[in-house]
Amino acid sequence: MRAEEEKNKAVELEDVTIALAGRAILSRISLAIESGEFIGVLGPNGSGKTTLMRAILGLIPPSSGSIRVLGEPARRGNPAVGYMPQHRHSSGSFRLSGWDFVASTVNGHRWGLPGASAADRREIDEALSLVGASALAKRPLMETSGGERQRLLLAQALLGRPRLLLLDEPLISLDPHHQRTVVGLVRELQEALGIAVLFSAHEINPLLGALDRVLYLGGGQAALGKVAEVITGPVLSRLYGSEIEVVRMGNRIFVMSGEHDLEKAEHRHDAHL
Amino acid sequence: MLTYDFMRNAFAASAIVALVAGIVGYFLVLRGQTFAGHALSHVGFAGATGAVLLGIPAIWGLVGFTLIAGLGMGVLGERISGRDVAIGVVLSLSIGLGVLFLHFYTAYATQVTALLFGNVLGVNRQTLWTLLGLAIVSLAGLGVIARPLLFASLQPELAEAKGVSLQLVSLLFLAIVALTVAECAQIVGVLLVFTLMVGPAAAAGRWTTRLGRGVALAAALALAEAWAGIALAYYTDWPTSFWITALSAAVYFASLLPFNKLRLA
């Protein structure tokens, strides 16, 4: 019975503490994410969104507690976990095509010469068509727009048919229109493929129509639940460690500290990095 | 021109080196590590002069020093990336040591000129075989690591998550770069290694969108530049290294021209 239950969990954290350079980023977190859930991961800069994802990927071992992913202990190179890191690197001045960029993932961990078999090529083409990037992939990656690039990276994350998808800030530096397109696309894929998605973002609003539950990180703590349960003054005040007011305006939510819109401020701060 | 033995050797040696430099250089430029290539060549100068002082062939001093430096850079990895000042100081120190070794050797200026600016016309049979051996080792090594190297270069975080050891890949690659630098120095000298390793690869990366074609074009451009450089030097009596650098620069700047028609797609 226990095994059956575990199989349905995409991610399970039990009393997990993660410290980086002696500083506890997450302390004694326990939570469970069901398979097939779309989770928005929010929280201020440095609250541990990327750290949590890297821990789920098996790249950062927790200093205590256990992390289980799809019923197994978290481990590096688990093919059932797809990952889209924050995009910082580029191929410099090279005009390498999106297709070659995406294809570099296939068996990329094995020694030998690059190259895709017929089956690999089919899988790449399928992933590209799932995200509507088949035509896009012929173009050089450096000549694509931010929104187009995110599509290609999403296709790359889908290779290997993952059952859990970790998307680290896919909305960064996208305009509101492209933000909506990316969120809509991820939701569509998540429902069609029946996979679990952890989608980190600075701001809750672009995700509001799409997510099932929200995971809010702050001050080493975490709160997981429905938007109405988590994005509230008392919960966020606890996470931020200061007085937070949540203002709802139509379909939008503003997280305010005094007179400042915190999520907006985070976003602007990041844009300068 | 091919009736002379030294010319045949020059064409053969430059062909071997250009192919390796073009191919390895493609990955070097793709990874944005061209400065590492530059740094290794300077370290090689100290190695070469030190070897001459000890009575060992210069190429083994080059290979030894660049290899050690390449592995050192790989081990330090992230810790030295962006430390331009520290690297610059080590570069200057290497050249300074080279000068010191030459002082003790009380060498003729030709020795220094050959090391700094290359002496492809002075390549003998034995050096040719050495270059061929080094080329085979470099390319075989690259063949083994190419797939994870490409993945780690394009998407380091994802590659790490998928189980690629970024440090190991970087270490092995820098060792291959070190061997390639040592080979290039035989043809164009330690100061001009860029011309064969970076110029053709950078142009190829702009003219192609597919990986395989990019690597092939980089190798072809390097070969064409090296051979044309030697031929031009033969007919004009100007230095070979000048012609190779001039051709490399011309091809690179041509690749920057915004003519869509020039691109091979």
Distance from CA of B92 to the nearest CA of A (A): 28
CB-CB under 8 Å, A140 with B147 = no
Q: In this predicted structure, what is the pLDDT of residue B236?
A: 96
C-alpha count within 13 angstroms, C-beta hemisphere, residue A123: 18
CB-CB under 8 Å, B211 with A109 = no
Candidates B29, B142, B150, B207, partner chain A, best to mutate (most A CBs within 10 A): B150
Look at residue A269 and tell me whether its pLDDT is greater than 50. Answer: no
Report if residue B208 sits inside a domain: no
pTM of the model: 0.91
Give the residues of chain B that fall short of pLDDT 70: 77-84, 107-109, 259-265
Which range marks the domain in which residue B32 is found? Answer: 5-190
Please write the tens of the pLDDT for every residue from A25-71: 999 999 999 999 999 999 998 899 999 999 999 999 999 999 999 99
SS (H, E, C) B184-216: HHHHHCHHHHHHHHCHHHHHHHHHCCCHHHHHH
CB-CB under 8 Å, B164 with A92 = no
CATH architecture of A2-80+164-271: 3-Layer(aba) Sandwich (3.40)
Look at residue A4 and tell me whether its pLDDT is greater than 60. Answer: no
Mean pLDDT of chain A: 89
Distance CA A87, CA B225 (A): 36
Q: In this predicted structure, what is the pLDDT of residue A273?
A: 36
Report the amino acid identity of residue B128.
L
- The token pair at B128 is 């040719």
- A 17-36: CB under 8 A from B: none
Tell me, what DSSP letter sits at residue B261? G
Report if residue B238 sits inside a domain: no
Report if residue B26 sits inside a domain: yes
Q: In this predicted structure, what is the pLDDT of residue A1?
A: 45
Q: Measured between CB atoms, which of A77, A93, A100 is closest to B163?
A: A77
CB-CB under 8 Å, B164 with A94 = no
CB-CB under 8 Å, A139 with B32 = no
Report if residue B196 sits inside a domain: no
Distance CA A150, CA A161 (A): 18
Domain boundaries, chain A: 2-80+164-271, 96-161
Distance from CA of A68 to the nearest CA of B (A): 16
Q: What is the ipTM of this complex?
A: 0.90
Query: In this structure, how many other beta carbons lie within 10 angstroms of the beta carbon of residue A135?
Result: 10
Per the listing, tokens 């190259």 go with A115
Strand partners, A40: A199, A214
Distance from CA of A163 to the nearest CA of B (A): 15
CB-CB under 8 Å, A94 with B161 = no
- A 65-94: CB under 8 A from B: 76-77, 81, 83-86, 89, 91-94
Please write the tens of the pLDDT for every residue from B10-35: 999 999 999 999 999 999 999 988 88
Contact predicate A49/A61, CB 8 Å: no
Mean pLDDT of chain B: 88
Distance CA A189, CA A150 (A): 14
SS (H, E, C) B53-89: HHCCCHHHHHHHHHHHHHHHHHHHHHHCCCCHHHHHH
| Nearest residue to B202 (alpha-carbon basis) of B30, B2, B8, B16 | B30
Look at residue A144 and tell me whether its pLDDT is greater than 60. Answer: yes
* Neighbour-count burial for A230-241, b at 16+ CB within 10 Å, e otherwise: bbbeebbbbbbe
Look at residue A257 and tell me whether its pLDDT is greater than 90. Answer: no
Mean pLDDT of A218-241: 92
Q: In sequence order, which residues have a C-beta less than 8 Å from that of residue A255 and are 6 or more positions away?
A: A204, A231, A236, A244, A245, A246, A261, A262, A263
Q: In this predicted structure, what is the pLDDT of residue B265?
A: 46
Question: Does residue B253 belong to the interface with chain A, where contact is any CB pair within 8 Å?
Answer: no
Mean pLDDT of A131-144: 91
Question: Does residue A271 belong to the interface with chain B, where contact is any CB pair within 8 Å?
Answer: no
Per the listing, tokens 């919960």 go with A235
Question: Does residue B208 belong to the interface with chain A, where contact is any CB pair within 8 Å?
Answer: yes
Q: For the CA atoms of A159, A162, A166, A172, what is the dihedral angle to 10 degrees?
A: 30
Mean pLDDT of A9-37: 93
Please write the tens of the pLDDT for every residue from A43-53: 998 899 999 99
Q: In this predicted structure, what is the pLDDT of residue A2?
A: 53
Q: In this predicted structure, what is the pLDDT of residue A272?
A: 37
Q: Are β-strands A81-84 and A164-167 bridged in parallel, bridged antiparallel, or unpaired?
A: parallel
Number of structural domains, chain B?
A: 1
Run of H or E residues at B164: none
Q: In this predicted structure, what is the pLDDT of residue B81?
A: 59
Question: Does residue A116 belong to the interface with chain B, where contact is any CB pair within 8 Å?
Answer: no
| Nearest residue to A256 (alpha-carbon basis) of A273, A222, A229, A232 | A232
* Longest pairwise C-alpha distance within chain A: 59
Q: Measured between CB atoms, which of A77, A94, A115 is closest to B205?
A: A94
Q: Are β-strands A213-218 and A196-200 bridged in parallel, bridged antiparallel, or unpaired?
A: unpaired
Report if residue B218 sits inside a domain: no
Candidates B139, B147, B257, partner chain A, best to mutate (most A CBs within 10 A): B147
